[in-house]
Amino acid sequence: MSQILINQSVAILCDGNNIEKSIHNISKNKNAMINFDTLIPKLLNGRGLNRMIYFREGKSISSKFADRLHENFYGSVIPCHKSADIPLTIKATQLASKVDTIIIMSGDSDYVELVTHLKGEGVRVEIAAVKETTAKILIDKSDYMHEITSNDWFVYKAPR
């Protein structure tokens, strides 16, 4: 049997504050951070990355982090005035006609309407989040749930 090549274009949109809060709650450590270098390839599972965008509320976004996302995934970091919900939703809607799959990194039930809309547009919608902190309705509405576990984060130790 010959191998089937799946050529799928994927956009990963991360609600940084939601994911950070989730891993801080589960790990009980405020210095826990997502290891994007291992998580992104795991989420893609051989599919092509179209965009990687990290939305973050607030001004304190590490330039080293932004540089790493850009160097490794041509990713970008978008600072948000308040919550990431609206900017992430707008970007997902803009990308719907350009990608096959959108992975939303968040467990926030605020994204349920977005998931329903994107699926109506023919986009596969996957969620990547910490299962314990993810709204059940979001898991139910999405096409697939990637569970973020302790294998997907590390504890940052500041240089002395």
Domains defined along the chain, listed by start = 15-155 (3.40.50.1010)
Question: What pLDDT does residue 4 have?
Answer: 67
Question: What pLDDT does residue 7 have?
Answer: 81
> Do the Cβ atoms of 69 and 53 come closer than 8 Å?
no
User: Coil, strand or helix: which one is 54?
Assistant: strand
Question: What pLDDT does residue 51 have?
Answer: 93
**Parallel, antiparallel, or unpaired for β 153-155 and 32-34?**
antiparallel
Alpha-carbon span 2 to 75, nearest angstrom: 34
Q: At what angle do helices 85-95 and 112-120 cross, to 10 degrees?
A: 10
Question: What pLDDT does residue 5 have?
Answer: 64
Q: Which of 110, 109, 117, 104 is nearest to 55 (CA)?
A: 104
pLDDT per residue of the chain (160 residues) written in tens, 0 to 9? 567 666 899 999 999 999 999 999 999 998 899 999 999 999 999 999 999 999 998 766 778 888 888 888 888 888 888 889 999 999 999 999 999 999 999 999 999 999 999 999 999 999 999 999 999 999 999 999 999 999 999 988 777 7
Question: What pLDDT does residue 59 have?
Answer: 65
Report if pTM > 0.85. yes
Tell me the C-alpha to C-alpha distance, in Å, between residue 77 and each of 4, 55, 70, 108.
Answer: 34, 6, 9, 19
Structure tokens belonging to residue 153 = 């984060």
